[in-house]
C-alpha cells in the first residue's frame, strides 16, 4: 500500500510566531497536551510547543540555532506546521529536554514529569500515558514522512503506540480544524492502516 506524502500549500511563518498560530487553532482556549491544564490564551505558562523537537530539524538541516535557521524556508515551514504544535506547560517542556519518546524499561521506575501529568520520564526516555501514545506516534510518523526527517524513536515502538491508541474523535476534530487553517491533514489520523506500509 502506497503512503501519500502531502504537498504543503500553507505559507511559512517565523518560528517564534507559533504562539499566535496555535491560538488560531484554539480560539476559545483548551487544555494543555500532557497535563490537561486549562488555558484561555498562550502565555509564559502555556506555550506553543513542537512535539517533534525542532532541535532534530535544525540538526538535519545543518542550519545552526533557531535564529540562524530563520533564513531557511524549509525550517520555517516545518516549525509552523500545526500538526506538530501543541499547547504545553513551559515547565514540562523544559523537563523534556535531552530525552526521547520510548518505553521506559524495567528496572527503571518511571516518575511523572509533573504532578498530575500524563508523561513519565526516566534518565533518557519519555513515556506518555497509553491514552496519548497514539497521538505522539502519529505526529512522529507524520513528521518523518512529510518532511523526510529522522523518526527519532524506534519505529517498532511508534507503530505499537499507534495501534494501541487509535485516533479518537478529539484527534480527528483537531485534524479537521488544522485543515481549515493550513490546508493539510495528517494521513495517519485519517487512514491509520497507512502506518503498516512504512519502512522507516
The whole-number pLDDT of residue 2 equals 42
Asked which of 37-46, 126-135, 138-147, 183-192 is least confident by mean pLDDT, the reply is 37-46
The whole-number pLDDT of residue 8 equals 44
Residue pair 50/85 in contact (Cβ under 8 Å)? The answer is yes
Q: What is the DSSP string of the chain?
A: -PPPPPPP-SPP--GGGHHHHHHHH-TT-EE-TTT--EESS--SSEEEEESS-HHHHHHHHT--SHHHHTT-HHHHHHHT-GGGEEEEEHHHHHHHTT-EE-PPPTT---EESSTT-SEEE-SSEEEE-HHHHHHHHHHHHHHHHHH-----S-HHHHHHHHHHS---HHHHHHHHHHHHHHS---HHHH-GGGGGG---
The tens digit of pLDDT for each residue in 144-175 reads 999 999 999 899 999 999 999 999 999 999 99
Cell of 29: 482556549
pLDDT tier for residue 9 given thresholds of 50, 70 and 90: very low
Residue pair 55/81 in contact (Cβ under 8 Å)? The answer is no
Half-sphere exposure of 163 (CA within 13 A, CB side): 10
pTM for this predicted structure = 0.88
* Mean pLDDT, the chain, whole residue set: 87
The whole-number pLDDT of residue 3 equals 42
Residue pair 188/140 in contact (Cβ under 8 Å)? The answer is no
The whole-number pLDDT of residue 107 equals 63
Q: How far apart are CA 83 and CA 123, in angstroms?
A: 28
Amino acid at each position: 500500500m502506497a503512503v501519500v506524502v502531502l504537498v504543503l500549500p500553507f505559507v511559512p511563518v517565523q518560528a517564534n510566531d507559533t504562539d499566535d498560530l496555535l491560538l488560531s487553532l484554539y480560539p476559545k482556549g483548551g487544555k494543555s497536551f500532557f497535563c490537561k491544564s486549562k488555558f484561555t490564551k498562550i502565555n509564559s505558562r502555556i506555550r506553543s510547543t513542537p512535539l517533534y523537537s525542532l532541535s532534530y530539524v535544525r540538526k538535519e538541516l545543518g542550519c545552526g540555532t533557531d535564529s540562524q535557521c530563520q533564513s531557511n524556508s524549509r525550517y520555517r515551514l516545518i516549525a509552523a506546521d500545526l500538526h506538530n504544535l501543541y499547547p504545553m506547560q513551559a515547565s514540562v517542556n523544559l523537563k523534556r529536554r535531552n530525552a526521547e519518546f520510548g518505553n521506559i524499561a524495567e528496572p527503571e521506575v518511571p516518575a511523572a514529569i509533573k504532578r498530575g501529568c500524563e508523561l513519565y520520564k526516566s534518565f533518557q526516555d519519555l513515556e506518555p500515558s497509553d491514552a496519548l501514545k497514539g497521538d505522539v506516534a502519529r505526529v512522529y510518523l507524520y513528521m518523518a514522512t512529510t518532511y523526510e526527517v529522522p523518526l527519532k524513536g524506534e519505529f517498532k515502538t511508534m507503530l505499537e503506540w499507534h495501534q494501541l491508541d487509535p485516533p479518537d474523535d478529539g484527534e480527528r476534530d483537531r485534524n479537521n480544524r488544522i485543515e481549515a487553517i493550513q490546508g493539510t491533514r495528517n494521513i495517519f489520523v485519517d487512514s491509520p492502516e497507512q502506518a503498516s506500509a512504512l519502512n522507516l
